[in-house]
């Protein structure tokens, strides 16, 4: 039967493509190929694969597959979560600037303060977003406080303060003790980021404050108006 015969020829095409057939058989397959466009098309595909085989190393094919360490995925996720919470803050800043509007934005100055508090327990409480209320017109201050194993990280956004103003940041604990968190000078003309350190665990912080020139602004910590978790992401 023609079909069976055709099938037999077809099954030889792999060996043909690899050059494994003895001369008489090879000649017979070649003769069939002359009159069979279907087999010729099939052969072209098989030859494409056969040509790649020499690239492979049989020892590597049979070697046990290397698997990544079991905890690699978790490590990557943790790093991405950390980056995403930083990015979330950056996006909030950008949004805020956008909201401030064109003309206002031109004059708006962003001073960003990053305060790292030294270890004091490393509580796993979620990060908090603190909004300063009762500020003079045109001034806005908000901060994100994030606990770390080594302490707390604070990022602060200040707007509308006179350029050149020295800002000293502090935290207060429940007993009213003040912990300096360093200082920065507020400048016109875009964002500036500063990293500073202090010594209070976020779980013990009751208040955050800024001495800006001769003014002092404070906001309660621990009754966060918005919770910021590491997993927060922007809607797509």
Partner 1 sequence: MSPALTRERDVREAYAAHSGELYGFAVRSLGDAGLAEEAVQETFLRAWRAGDRYDSQIGSLRTWLFAILRNVVIDLGRARDSRPRVGPEQGIEPSVEPLEQALLSWQVEEAMRRIGEDHRKVLLETHFRARPYAEVAEELGVPEGTIKSRVYYGLKALRVALEEMGYED
- Enumerate binding residues for partner 1 (CB under 8 A): 10-15, 17-18, 20, 45-46, 48-50, 52-53, 55-58, 60-62, 65-69, 72-73, 75-77, 79-81, 83-84, 231, 233-234, 236
In terms of CB distance, is 59 or 103 closer to partner 1?
A: 59
In terms of CB distance, is 74 or 104 closer to partner 1?
A: 74
Least CB distance from residue 114 to partner 1, whole Å?
Answer: 20
In terms of CB distance, is 29 or 212 closer to partner 1?
A: 29
> How buried is residue 223: exposed, middle or buried, by Cβ count under 10 Å (0-12/13-18/19+)?
exposed
Q: How far apart are CA 35 and CA 49, in angstroms?
A: 23
Bridge partners for 159 per DSSP: 140
Least CB distance from residue 58 to partner 1, whole Å?
Answer: 4
* DSSP per position, 132-144: --S--TT-EEEEE
Pair 126, 231: CB distance under 8 Å: no
In terms of CB distance, is 38 or 174 closer to partner 1?
A: 38
Q: How far apart are CA 133 and CA 142, in angstroms?
A: 9
Least CB distance from residue 178 to partner 1, whole Å?
Answer: 38
In terms of CB distance, is 2 or 60 closer to partner 1?
A: 60
CA–CA–CA angle 9, 10, 14 (5° rounding):
110
Least CB distance from residue 53 to partner 1, whole Å?
Answer: 6
H or E segment to which residue 131 belongs? strand 127-131
Least CB distance from residue 177 to partner 1, whole Å?
Answer: 38
Least CB distance from residue 227 to partner 1, whole Å?
Answer: 17
In terms of CB distance, is 28 or 133 closer to partner 1?
A: 28
131: nearest Cα among 226, 24, 57, 213 = 226
Tokens of 214: 């001769």
């Amino acid at each position: 039967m023609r079909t069976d015969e055709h099938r037999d020829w077809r099954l030889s095409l792999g060996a043909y493509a690899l050059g494994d057939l003895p001369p008489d058989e090879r000649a017979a397959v070649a003769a069939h190929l002359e009159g069979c466009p279907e087999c010729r098309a099939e052969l072209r595909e098989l030859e494409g694969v056969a040509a790649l085989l020499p690239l492979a190393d049989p020892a590597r094919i049979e070697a046990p597959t290397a698997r990544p360490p079991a905890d690699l995925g978790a490590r990557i996720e943790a790093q991405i979560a950390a980056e995403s919470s930083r990015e979330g803050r950056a996006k909030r800043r950008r949004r805020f600037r956008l909201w401030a509007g064109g003309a206002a934005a031109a004059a708006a100055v962003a001073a960003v303060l990053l305060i790292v508090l030294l270890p004091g327990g490393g509580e796993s409480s979620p990060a908090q977003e603190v909004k300063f209320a009762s500020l003079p017109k045109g001034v806005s201050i908000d901060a994100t406080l994030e606990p770390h194993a080594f302490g707390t990280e604070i990022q602060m956004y200040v707007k509308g303060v006179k350029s050149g103003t020295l800002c000293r940041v502090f935290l207060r604990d429940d007993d009213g003790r003040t912990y300096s968190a360093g200082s920065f000078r507020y400048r016109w003309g875009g964002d500036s980021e500063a990293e500073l350190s202090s010594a209070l665990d976020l779980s013990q912080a009751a208040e955050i404050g800024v001495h800006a020139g001769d003014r002092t602004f404070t906001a309660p910590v621990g009754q966060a108006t918005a919770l910021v978790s590491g997993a927060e992401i922007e809607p797509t």
